[in-house]
Amino acid sequence: MPLLVMKFGGTSVANLDRIENAAKKVQEEVARGYDVIVIVSAMSGKTNELVGWVEGTSKLYDTREYDAIVSSGENVTAGLMALRLQEMGIGARSWQGWQVPINTTDAHASARFVSIPRENIDADFAGGNKVAVVAGFQGVTEGGRITTLGRGGSDTTAVAFAAAFGAERCDIYTDVDGVYTTDPRIVSKARKMEKIAFEEMLELASLGAKVLQTRSVELAMRYKVRLRVLSSFEATDETSGTLVCDEEEIMESKVVSGVAFSRDEAKMTLVRVEDRPGVAAAIFGPLAEAQVNVDMIVQNISEKVAGDAKLYTDMTFSLPVNQVERAKKALEDSRASGAVTYAELITDTETAKVSVVGIGMRSQVGVAAKMFAALAAENINIKVITTSEIKISVLIDRKYMELAVQTLHDTFGLEQA
């Protein structure tokens, strides 16, 4: 039998009515002749509630117990989904991570997959069941402890199962009907894409687009798992949603496929850092140890100070605004220890990152010039620029973010198919 993986997020299974709606979509695929592995998240809001219970009980909690508690939301959803399918006359059973088993590392709250043996679920299909409902977001260590994969881990679970079982496709059901050229709430002309390449989706996900979790796209690209993003709340068929696939499946790529943004960014600048071998490691090593997620990095040209033989430079980088205080402490501790010296630390917490993404950039010149000219025409000042083969990102004042997104969407004609 051909096999399909279907994943339903928290909003898609938020209550019994929505679970029934999701079960009907599973029923449609069974009627088409598929065996189906369904990956479910916890009901919307339940994981946050469970995390709150943990933090309300113990501030310095044991992460093993955290995982045991927080993973329980998915178990409830899996059981309810299996019961609903059974009521509809479909052979189904629920599977918790340890029952499959989903073998992971022992990094509690951020575990990684080790293996997903097929034998147990294959035997269940061979015995007559048509649907395996698997609790997402969780696994089990070699020692038998429950683990969780980090927030958004159910997307990753779905892709991992599709890879392990050689699924024809992995369908991700959510509260949007596909991947858009940008957020339709900001640009009313945003267009739903029929197809998007893995690399483009990975860039968009990492740059702030919240349709798919970044790790799930990385895994899909590595194992060539065809992903489809579609709505739980609309009638769908095999042409619905957006297909995330190999570049070779896309007839002709636009130069720019989408505009992504991240609203809550900050910019930090270390003024007059001694320019010597190892200084970058001395700055960014402690930031990494403090779990600060540094993104864009710019180093100014070196210069001398009168009466001083040493060379100095300024180092600027961006980071999430909620990590600024952690970054400040790490840098101040480094300066106090003598590992790095700087004259001043300047922080700007009112910035945003806006990016254009497209695999067509590989073969098209002038994209950056066109982007910068469009922003300049709107008097939007660029603070930091970074590029890759298929992406250009700029850091700007946050108050201009929506204008920048709208301008770039129009400039590159993304409303046109």
175 is in an annotated binding site: yes
Asked whether residue 26 is marked as a ligand-binding residue, the answer is no
Query: Which H helix or E strand runs over 312?
Result: strand 311-320
How is residue 300 annotated by DSSP? Answer: P
CB proximity list for 300: less than 8 A, separation 6 or greater: 313, 314, 315, 316
Beta carbons within 8 Å of 18's beta carbon, 6+ residues apart: 11, 12, 232
Structure token pair of residue 121: 């679920």
Q: Is 32 annotated as a binding residue?
A: no
| 8 in a labelled binding site | yes
> What is the gyration radius of the CA atoms in the chain, in angstroms?
24
Q: Is 351 annotated as a binding residue?
A: no
Whole-number Å distance between alpha carbons of 147 and 105: 8
In which element (H, E) is residue 79 found? helix 72-87
Residue 240: both structure tokens together: 């619905």
Q: Is 174 labelled a binding residue?
A: yes
47 known ligand binder:
yes
Annotated binding residue at 273? no
- DSSP H helical ranges for 181-232: 198-206, 214-223
Please provide the size of the chain in residues. Answer: 417
Confirm if 257 and 194 have CB atoms less than 8 A apart.
Answer: no
First to last CA, the chain: 36
Please tell me whether 180 is known to bind a ligand: yes
The reply to whether 210 sits in an annotated binding site is yes
- To the question of whether residue 211 is assigned a binding role by annotation, the answer is yes
What residues pair up with 265 in beta bridges, in sequence order? 320, 351
User: Residue 313 — φ and ψ, nearest 5°?
Assistant: -145, 165
Distance of CA 335 to CAs 99, 113, 291, 341, 344, Å? Answer: 50, 39, 18, 5, 11
| Annotated binding-site members for substrate | 47, 74
Known binding-site residue numbers? 7-10, 47, 74, 174-175, 180, 185, 210-211
Binding positions for ATP are 7-10, 174-175, 180, 185, 210-211
